[in-house]
Amino acid sequence: MLYIHLFLANLIWGLNVIVTKLNYDSFHPLFLAMLKILFSVLALLFYIYYKKISFEKVSIKKLIVQTNLINVINFLLTYYGMQYVEGTMTATINCLAPVMMFIVSVSLCKWNWKILISFMMSFLGFLIAIHFRLFNIGKGIFFLITALFIYNFGNYRLKDITHNPFIYNLYMLLIAFFEFIVILLFQKNDLFKTVNTFSLWLFILTSGIGYAYIQCVYFLSIHSIGPLKTSFFMAFSPAFTYFFSLILLKEKFDFFVLIGFIVIFTASFYFISKKEN
């Protein structure tokens, strides 16, 4: 049953990028980020109430730092960046997540030539995907890569947090929600235009409620089969994003992006397998 949930979590995570891009014509990117947080909070509150999980006292200072890394700066850069980057390229960049996590935790890790090979493969795949235009990548790709690094850095800092993950995530999302409300007050552009109801409901299901579901599955999987095997299964989400982008968004096929995606995807699995060994 767990593997079915992992498959569904990957499917939802892969669809999330597609559905978000479908809603850009209707909503301001930061308004979408706020909606994501709002419905994630509601889903977590329901789960916490259903499971009768008790609230806990936490360090406010650490909580605020974590919130801004994971749910504020990350979302700001991601939701702005996805406007300028196709879904296939977003999927390619997301494949770099295991490498980013290794970079932020490098002080505790041991380098060897096999890990170095995975880094070189990832960088080569990235160069291929951007047509070797390293110094002309555009702000969208720059925003997404920076967001991925900050997100992994924030997650790495969670290793010392001993609180219930659902409660701690709820606290972070609540703070992020109020921060985005303040940010949106200073936005001069329209927050929403003509709303596509179907796309909005898809966004609520995949990006809001779906995000809370993914977090729950991820947490349960780590305790059941371990973090490395969980990472192996969750690494399939960029593949779903890539193919959904071609089919649902009808994006133009780019041979360089495909080859770059395959190279980075392969390097990520090689990296994960070597870390496990």
pLDDT at 252: 82
The pLDDT assigned to 274 comes to 56
pLDDT in tens, 101-148: 777 766 555 667 777 777 788 788 888 887 787 777 788 999 999 998
pLDDT averaged over every residue in the chain: 82
Q: Give pLDDT, residue 146.
A: 94
pLDDT in tens, 193-209: 777 888 888 888 888 88
Mean pLDDT of 259-270: 78
* Enclosing domain of residue 151: 2-276
pLDDT value, residue 230: 67
Q: Are 86 and 261 in contact (CB under 8 A)?
A: no
pLDDT (tens digit, 9 = 90+) per residue, 147-172? 988 988 887 777 777 788 889 889 99
- Asked if pLDDT for residue 177 goes beyond 80, the answer is yes
Enumerate residues 6+ apart whose C-beta is below 8 A from 220: 2, 5
* Statement: the pTM of the whole predicted model exceeds 0.85: no
Q: How many structural domains are present in the chain? A: 1
State how far the Cα of 178 lies from the Cα of 75, in Å rounded to an integer: 14
